[in-house]
Amino acid sequence: MPAKHEQGAIDVKQKNVLHKPLARLSAPASSSKNLPSTVHAGFCTSGSPIAAILTASFLDFSSKQGLDLRGAGVKEGSRYCIDTALWKKAVDGGIKDVQVKLEASHEHKSSISESHLWNFLTETTSGMSSKD
């Protein structure tokens, strides 16, 4: 059962990086029980603020870093909230195809600037995309 402040796929008490109510990235039921605490489905949090659509290259990179997300049931195209350090490490390591959903990325994104996140923007609910 959703919390009182959650209205369907929106949490009106938390804000995203666009300073609007936080959108849910994926259904919590889609989350594997074998995932580390820094990777989860549902609403992104201050601990895992980046709303990412994971790519094959990101999953390969994570595996090389000792985090076997595929072994935990994560597939290419899956939507998960990930911690800032993991996302930044992947981007700094040359992974440039991880897409970010800004409306589902928590406002507490730590040291990553909004403009940097825009470089990885995927379609938003308002129809904007990185290709516009």
Do residues 132 and 109 make contact, with C-beta atoms less than 8 angstroms apart? no
Q: How many angstroms separate the CA atoms of 72 and 30, rounded?
A: 12
Residue-wise pLDDT for 83-126, tens only, equals 988 888 998 899 988 888 989 999 886 566 656 665 655 544 44
Read off the pLDDT band of 38 (50, 70, 90).
Answer: confident
CATH architecture of 6-118: 2-Layer Sandwich (3.30)
Q: What are the φ and ψ backbone dihedral angles of 103, each rounded to 5 degrees?
A: -70, -15
Q: How many angstroms separate the CA atoms of 51 and 99, rounded?
A: 8
Determine whether 29 is exposed, middle or buried from the number of CB atoms within 10 Å of its CB (0-12, 13-18, 19+): exposed
User: Rounded to a whole number, what is the largest CA-CA distance in the chain?
Assistant: 41
Query: Residue 126: its pLDDT value, please?
Result: 42
Domain boundaries, the chain: 6-118
Determine whether 94 is exposed, middle or buried from the number of CB atoms within 10 Å of its CB (0-12, 13-18, 19+): exposed
The better pLDDT of the pair 33, 47 is held by: 47
Element (H, E) at 7: strand 6-7
Query: What are the CA-CA distances from residue 111 to residues 61, 65, 114, 122, 125 (Å)?
Result: 21, 21, 10, 20, 25
